[in-house]
Amino acid sequence: MRPSNVRAVHAALSGWLVGLLAVGPAAAQTPVSSRLVPRALSAATADAPADAASVTVVAIALDAEARGDAARLAREAELAVTRSGRLKLVRLSDALDADGQRERQAREAEAAEAMKAGQRAYDELDTEKALEHFDKAVRGYEGADLSQRFTELSRARVMKAASQVANGENTAAQLEIRTALALNPEARFSPNFFPPEEMTFVEKERKAVLTGTKSSLRVSTEPVPAQVFVDGQFRGISPVDVADLTAADHYVTVVAPGYALTQRRERDGEVSLTLAPVAAQKGLQTFTEQAARKPESPERDAALRELGTLAGVSQVLALLVRGGAGTAPLEVTALRLDVSDGHNQAFALGTVPRGEGLVDGSQALLAQLVSADAPRQGGKPVTHFAGGVSNTRRTVGYVLMATGVALLAGGVYFGMEASAKSDDFKRAAQNSSRAQDLKSTGKSYALVADVGILLGLASAGAGGYLAFANGGGGGSKSTSRASRPAPSPVPAAAPQDTPPAPKEAPAAEKEPLPMPPPPAQTAPASKQKEPSTSNKRAQEDEARQREEELRKRREEVERQRKELEERRKQEEAAAQREQEERRRQEERRREEEKKKRPALDDDDLRNY
C-alpha cells in the first residue's frame, strides 16, 4: 500500500473513530420526555355514551415508597376517565366486590324509591306517610356508598325535617335540621317546605355550624392504603388528617381495590380501620405482582389482560409507579390496554411530582391516556415494551455499544497497520536493523488489533443486550405482539352487571389462571446459537400443550360464570316477582284505607 493511500485511510478511520465515540453519550443524553407532550383534554361531557368502553383503573407501586402516591394517582386517573366523556368508569373496588356492590345498589334503589313515594305523599298532604318514607330513605342511603350518594342522604334529611314541621313535631324537626347542617353546611332548605320561623332557625344554625367549634380526624387503614371520604368528600389517601370538621358524628368511607368498602360514623380523634379482603383479592394480588415483576415485558400486558377479565371490563388503565427514597419525582409508565387482544389504546412515559404538586403535575399525562385511541397497525395490536421507567440500563447499553464499535474500529485500524508493516518487512533486507524494527512493530500492532477486536465484540454484544433485550428498551417506541393466546373478548359492563361471586366458589375460580412463561431474553447476536430442530419441536409441543390447558381452563371458568349468571337472573326474577306481589298488596291496602277514610271538604283543607 502506498504511503499516500495509507495516510488517507488513517485520516478516514480516525474521523470515524471520533464520531463513534460520541454516539454513546449523545444517545444516552437524548431526553425521553420530548415525545411525551400530551394533547389538551377536550371538554368533558356529563355522561359517557351508552356504547362507551368500560374502563377500570389500577395503580401498581414498583417499590414500597410509592404505595401511597400510586393510590392517589389512581384516584386522579379515575377522575380523568370520568371527565373524558367518552369512557365509562368502573371502579376496580366495585368490580372485584360484586356481592357488596349489589347490596349497596339495592339499598340505594330502595332509598330512591322511598324518596319518590315520600314526595308523592307530601304533595298529597299525607305528611305522616311522607315522614315514614323519608325516614326510610335516610336509613337506605346510610347503607349505600356514601362516597357517591352523600348528597342524596342530605336531601332525604331535609325532607324528613320538612315532614316533621308539617306534622307539628317542631322539636324533632329542629334536631334533624341541626344534624343535616352539621354534616353538610351547604344543605338547601326551601321556603316552599319550611315556614318563615323555621327558615330563620335554619340560617341561625348554619351560621353557628360555620363559626362553631371544630374537630379533626386521623384516618388510617390496614393492610393497604385506601381512598378516604368524609361526608362524601374525598380527603386523601390513608393515613390522612382531616381537619376543620364540625362537632358531629361524620360518615367515614374508605375504598381500596380487593377489599370490601368500609363505612362508619366517627366524631373526633384517631380512626383505625381494618379492611376485609374479598374473594377476588388473591387474583388481584397475583396479577399485579406479575405486572410489577417485569414492567417492561409482554408479561406486564398479559397480567393486565387477566385482571381486566377478572374485573369484567373491556379496557384497563394501568399506572406503574416507581418512587424511590427522598422527594424525587415519581417515574410512571402508563397505558390503556384493550383486554380482548392486548392492543395499547394509549401509552405514555413521564414523571409526576410528589406531594401537593401531584394533582396538577399528573393532569397532562392522564389526559393523554384518555383523550384518544391509538390505531392498530395493519389490523394487529400495538404494544409497548421499550423505554421502561428507568434509563440507567439503556444508557449503559448505549455507552458499551459505542465503546465496542470504537474498539472494533481501532482493531481494524491496527490490523491494517500490522499488514502494512508485514509488507514492508518482506521488501526490506532481512538482516538489516530496519527489518527487525518492522517485525517488532508489526507484531505489536497485530496484538493490539486482536485484543481490540475481541474486546470490541464483547463490549458491543453486552451493550446491545442491555439496550435492546427484553426490559431494557432502546428506542422512543417499540411495537411487538405478545406471544400468548388472547382471552375471550369481554363486553363492556357497568359495575351492576358484574356477575355475583358465590360463597363457595369452584376451584377453577378460587385459583388464578396460570400465566404462560415470559419469552426468553435475547442474547447478543454474536453469541446466540441456533437451537436444534428437535429442541424447537419439543418447545413448540410444550407451548401448544400449555395453550390447550389454558384454553380448557378458560372454557371451564366461562361455563361456571354462565351458570352463576343464569342463577343470578333466576334469583332476580324471583325477587322481582316477590316485590311486585308486595306492591300489589300495598296498593290494595291503600285502597281499603282510602275507602274507610272520610273525605276532606274545603273547610278542612283551609283549617289544615
Residues 207, 105 share a domain: yes
- 290 and 362 in a common domain: yes
pLDDT value at 497 more than 50: no
The answer to whether residues 142 and 155 belong to one domain is yes
Neighbouring residues of 109: CB distance < 8 A, sequence distance ≥ 6: none
The mean pLDDT value for 562-577 works out to 81
**256-259: which pairs have CB atoms within 8 A and are 24 or more residues apart?**
256/71, 256/93, 256/221, 256/224, 256/225, 256/226, 256/227, 257/58, 257/92, 257/93, 257/96, 257/284, 258/92, 258/93, 258/96, 258/224, 258/284, 258/285, 259/93, 259/97, 259/224, 259/226
pLDDT (average), residues 70-77? 95
Task: Please give the C-alpha separations between residue 354 and each of 68, 76, 292, 361, in angstroms, as whole numbers.
Answer: 10, 13, 21, 9
User: Do residues 407 and 452 both lie within one domain?
Assistant: yes
- Given the C-alpha cell 386521623, which residue does it identify? 218
pTM of the model: 0.59
Distance between CA 58 and CA 81 in Å, rounded? 12
The dihedrals phi and psi of 209, each to the nearest 5 degrees, come to -65, -45
Tens digits of residue pLDDT in 139-184: 999 999 999 999 999 999 999 999 999 999 999 999 999 999 999 9
Instruction: Work out the average pLDDT over 576-603.
Output: 73
Same domain for 338 and 327? yes
Residues 451 and 407: beta-carbon distance below 8 Å: no
| pLDDT score, position 21 | 53
**CATH number of the domain residue 45 falls in:** 3.40.50.10610
Q: 486 lies in a domain?
A: no
How confident is the model over 514-530, as pLDDT tens digits? 444 444 444 444 444 44
Q: What is the CATH number of the domain that holds 235?
A: 2.60.40.1120
Output Rg (C-alpha) for the chain, integer angstroms.
35
- Does residue 342 sit within a domain? yes
382 against 490, higher pLDDT = 382
CA distances from residue 53 to 345, 369, 462 in whole angstroms, order as listed: 11, 14, 44
pLDDT band at 413 (very low <50, low <70, confident <90, very high): confident
The answer on 423 and 353 residing in a single domain is no
Residues 156 and 84 both lie in one domain:
no
Q: What is the pLDDT of residues 256-307, one digit of tens each?
A: 999 999 999 998 899 999 999 999 999 999 999 999 998 888 999 999 999 9
Does residue 165 fall inside a structural domain?
yes
Q: Which of 253, 277, 301 is the last residue of a domain?
A: 277
Residue that terminates a domain, selected from 236, 259, 277: 277
Residue 247 backbone dihedrals phi, psi, to 5 degrees: -80, 80
- Split at pLDDT 50, 70, 90, the class of 607 is very low
- At 5, the pLDDT band (50, 70, 90 cuts) reads low
User: Of 217, 238, 229, which is closest to residue 263 (Cα–Cα)?
Assistant: 229
CA 282, 283, 285 angle in degrees (round to 5)? 65
Q: Do residues 71 and 20 both lie within one domain?
A: no
Q: Are 184 and 105 part of one and the same domain?
A: yes
Q: Mean pLDDT, to the nearest integer, of 60-66?
A: 91
For the beta carbon of residue 344, count every other beta carbon within 10 angstroms: 20
Query: Is the model's pLDDT at 499 over the cut of 70?
Result: no
User: Is the pLDDT higher at 13 or at 164?
Assistant: 164
Tell whether 406 and 343 lie within a shared domain. no
What pLDDT shows up at residue 496? 39
Is 90 found in the same domain as 115?
Answer: no
Q: In 10 A of CB 172, how many CB atoms? A: 16
| 191-207: pLDDT as tens digits | 999 999 999 999 999 99
137 and 159 together in one domain:
yes
Last residue of a domain, one of 240, 256, 277: 277
Q: Looking at the domain assignment, is residue 325 inside a domain?
A: yes
Tell which residue, 428, 321, 248, has the closest CA to residue 59. 321
Confidence of residue 533 (pLDDT cuts 50, 70, 90): low
pLDDT at 384: 87
State which residues form the domain around 232: 213-277
- Domain presence at residue 393: no
Q: 419-466, pLDDT tens digit by residue? A: 888 888 878 777 777 777 878 888 888 888 888 888 988 888 888 877
Number of domains in the chain: 5
Residue 508 domain-assigned?
no
Q: What is the pLDDT of residue 263?
A: 95
CB-based burial, 486-510: b 16+ in 10 Å, e otherwise: bbeebebbebeebbebeeeeeebbe
